[in-house]
Homo-oligomer: A and B are copies of this chain.
Amino acid sequence: MSTSVSANHEAPAAAGDAQAGDFESWVAQRVARARELLDRHCGAGLSAGSPLGEAMHYAAALGGKRMRPLLVWASGECLGADGAALDAAACAVELVHAYSLVHDDLPCMDNDVLRRGMPTVHVRYGEAMALLAGDALQTRAFEVLTSDPALPERLQARLCGLLAAAVGAGGMAGGQALDLQATGRRLDLQALRDMHSRKTGALLRASVLMGVACAGEIDPRLAQQCEAALLDYARDIGLAFQVVDDVLDASADSATLGKTAGKDAEQGKATFVALLGVEAARAQARQLLEQALQALRRLPEPARQRSARLAELARRVVARSH
């Protein structure tokens, strides 16, 4: 891993990234920035002590790995993107992710009481408030994308369009509906991949594409040249992410996961582990990682030499324990 990081040190620094340290300190810095942005945008415009604002803030604060914002920043910075636009995009994808978790956890969906070791939003604030908090978190994502006058309006529109296409019936929500229909039924590998490509993959791909869109304001030609390879990268790590999720659900305990383990098998859900077994699923995740890294090698310069963080993020997806 250290070679990738040092490769990055020889590259011209990406915009807003002059004192690039190693990968871990970059992650820590960006995770802190995500938290700061979510704090700023969750609860704003609400009267103090509003339960809706509190529930939104609680839901957003529950977020752990901030994988989607990290992908926005890493892909955008790899192509030299601008700070304010990337911040808005990073915040928006995490707000959408937070909304999807709140609604996923509801009794009528997964009925989960624990998320990252904490009571889920409906356990803490009641079902009705959790429903509204999820709804309002989704809306807030579009507010964040359209409320910063520093962002050119054409970029605001493009980011809203990319996010909406990824989140709705053709993307995340559609994948969740397929997941609902699949419970207790035998899906084949292709159907399972398709479902996850929408359920979790669409937002991960959108994170990368939104980073690229921000960069397109600065260097449209480079952004265009890089889009296909970065989309392949995002597709591979999106699927790897899900395969690893299934492996962890089948093999880790609830304390490590911070959520209820073993629920997939219990609910008769189609998973990569159920179809392939744990070992073959792990091998699949490693293969997807290799493909994602190959996609980064296809990037034209100077993006390729700046892609170390994207490579590290891919490795982190596969190596994670929760």
A interface residues (Cβ-Cβ under 8 A, vs B): 43, 45-46, 50-53, 56, 99, 103, 106, 108-109, 126-129, 131-132, 134-136, 138-140, 142-143, 145-147, 153-154, 156-158, 160-161, 163-165, 167-170, 173-174, 176-177, 180-181
Residues of B near A134 (CB, < 8 A) are 135
Question: Of B45, B131, B145, which is within 8 A of A131 by CB?
Answer: B131
Q: What is the total number of copies of this protein in its complex?
A: 2
Residues of B near A164 (CB, < 8 A) are 139-140, 142-143, 146
Report whether over half of chain A's contact residues are helix, strand or loop; otherwise say mixed. Answer: helix
> Is B160 touching A142 in the complex (CB atoms < 8 A)?
yes
> Is A177 touching B139 in the complex (CB atoms < 8 A)?
no
> Is B108 touching A170 in the complex (CB atoms < 8 A)?
no
CB distance from A159 to the nearest CB of B (A): 9
Residues of B near A129 (CB, < 8 A) are 177, 180
For the complex, give the distance between the alpha carbons of A143 and B126 in Å: 30
For the complex, give the distance between the alpha carbons of A142 and B63 in Å: 25
For the complex, give the distance between the alpha carbons of A164 and B52 in Å: 16
Residues of B near A167 (CB, < 8 A) are 139
Q: Which residue of B lies closest to A194 (CB)?
A: B47
Most buried by B among A132, A156, A158, A169: A169
> Is B135 touching A135 in the complex (CB atoms < 8 A)?
yes
Question: Of B56, B109, B132, B154, which is within 8 A of A128 by CB?
Answer: B109
